[in-house]
Amino acid sequence: MHDFEKSKTSVCPKRSIWPKRSIWIDKNTQTVKVIDQRYLPHKYIIYELKTLKDVINAIKQMVVRGAPLIGVTAAYGVSIILQNTPSGVDETACLLEECELLKNARPTAINLVYAVDRVLEKILVENDLNIRKSVALTEADNLAEEEVENCRKIGEHGVALIKELSDKKNGEQINILTHCNAGWLACVEYGTATAPIYKAHDLGINIHIWVDETRPLNQGARLTAWELGEYGINHTVITDNCGGHLMQHGLVDMVIVGTDRSTYTGDVANKIGTYLKALAAKDNNIPFWVALPSSTFDWDLDSGVDQINIEERNSDEVRFISGELDGSIQKVSIMPATSRAANYAFDVTPARLVSGFITERGICKASEVAIKQLFPEKFVLDR
């Protein structure tokens, strides 16, 4: 276990000091470091990214997770590939090959491919390896800063929705349900779904967050609860089964979730179970918002259920649950060893169930027309 360390590019993440960051460059070692999110909230462990293998492992094994953080990690990954370029090889061929491996580390988060391609585009116009290294690092830093700024803006725009409800209820507590972790741990700072929540708290709005535990890996119970607790935000962890009941009984005022990939028509891929909460929100006339930086839109897809590749992960994530026991992390088996288990990691919430998107440019409905109004430059080609 380590303390948080100073980042080259930004204020360091440090317990109980805001802002926090989930990825940074260690000033002394000049290496990229991340929080190993597999061990939170029980242990606070730093994971160092030195090789492509480290980066791919971090993404695959979910040391880092969350669409924006996966993207930024992958961007630094390109820089790490360059740092490790062996001598006497075709540098560009080697780079492209390794970037392909990196892009395939996980299938659903669009930010992974976006980030790698973005850094690649900047470096492929250069020929000198040292210049490439420097350009890659700068571009990864830029992406990190952009993600932070996007999340900050998502908070600014999204808080208006919370404030509106709070005013309607004359300042009574606003109950917000969220699924999985779309917090600063999933991003670099602020988070997506949590950005309006942190901002509302800063403004003194009376809020309470229902945190879905989010099986199989419990990112809600482990990460969102930890984040919110560290920031002093009133919250309650519930099982994934519970939200519908709460909504039926008027105990949820709004839902805000993140997304790993959304179509330009408004369909939302997010952690498995999101679709069920969206159905319950619709059935109870509760607004269901999706917070995302525009880098999470897939401008090529028009139908989420048909076209978004849903990752199927190792069934051991269902069979076993990790938790803390007498100070150490243990995995217990929760089902018969002879039974099969299946582990689909995401689902798609159709646009018709989404009240709208909270983006860095503002709020829009979950429709092609509305998304186009906010991001016209993405629609320059006829589809």
Q: Give me the active site residues, please.
A: 260
> End-to-end CA distance of the chain, in Å?
51
Between residues 160 and 238, which has the closer beta carbon with respect to its own copies? 238
Give the integer Cα–Cα distance in Å for 97 and 123: 15
Q: What b/e readout covers 338-369, taking b as 16+ CB neighbours within 10 angstroms?
A: eeeeebebbbbbbbebbbbbbbbbebbbbbbe
Confirm or reject binding of residue 290 to its own copies (CB under 8 A): no
Rounded to a whole number of angstroms, the minimum distance from the CB of residue 240 to its own copies is 5
For residue 41, state whether it binds its own copies (rule: CB under 8 A).
Answer: yes
Q: Which is nearer to its own copies, 118 or 277 (CB)?
A: 277
The reply on whether position 245 binds its own copies by CB under 8 A is: yes
Q: Tokens 């994934």 label which residue?
A: 240
Contact between 362 and its own copies by CB under 8 A: the answer reads no
Question: For residue 379, what are the CA distances in angstroms to 30, 154, 156, 266?
Answer: 40, 22, 25, 14
Which residue from 40, 41, 33 is spatially nearest to 13, judged by alpha carbons? 33
Phi, psi torsion values for 98, nearest 5 degrees: -70, -30
The verdict on 43 binding its own copies (CB under 8 A) reads no
Cβ closer to its own copies: 64 or 246?
Answer: 246
Taking alpha carbons only, the member of 230, 217, 175 closest to residue 44 is: 230
Minimal distance, residue 349 CB to its own copies, in Å: 9
In the list 112, 348, 366, 371, the residue contacting its own copies (rule: CB under 8 A) is 348
**Contact status: 314 vs its own copies (CB under 8 A):** no
Instruction: Please give the residues from 316 up to 345 whose contact with its own copies meets the rule CB under 8 A.
Output: 318-325, 330-336, 338-344
Q: What token pair was written down for 159?
A: 């808080």
Q: In the range 205-244, which residues lie near its own copies by CB under 8 A? A: 211, 213-216, 218, 221-222, 225-226, 228-229, 235-244
Tokens read off for 278: 């969206």
The Cα 154–Cα 177 span in angstroms is: 17
Which of 69, 82, 137, 280 binds its own copies (CB under 8 A)? It is: 280
Angle between helices 67-83 and 91-103 (to 10 degrees): 160
To the nearest whole angstrom, how small is the minimum distance from the Cβ of residue 248 to its own copies? 5
**Which of residues 127 and 239 has its CB atom nearest to its own copies in the complex?**
239
Please tell me whether residue 347 binds its own copies under the rule CB under 8 A: yes
The Cα–Cα gap between 301 and 378 comes to 12
Question: 126 to each of 91, 96, 122, 321, how far by Cα in Å?
Answer: 12, 14, 8, 47
Single out the residue of 271, 293, 298, 355 in contact with its own copies (rule: CB under 8 A): 271
Residue 85 touching its own copies (CB under 8 A): no
Contact between 287 and its own copies per CB under 8 A: no
**35 lies in the binding site for its own copies (CB under 8 A):** no
CA atoms within 13 A on the CB side of 161: 29
346 contacts its own copies (rule: CB under 8 A):
yes
Stretch binding its own copies (CB under 8 A), from 25-33, 64-72, 145-153, 273-281: 273-281
- Give the full edge-to-edge strand order of the sheet including 23-25: 23-25, 32-35, 46-49
What's the min distance (Å) between Cβ of 206 and its own copies? 16
* Of 71 and 273, CB closest to its own copies: 273
Residues that bind its own copies (CB under 8 A): 41-42, 211, 213-216, 218, 221-222, 225-226, 228-229, 235-246, 248-249, 271-273, 275-277, 279-280, 283, 305, 310, 318-325, 330-336, 338-344, 346-348
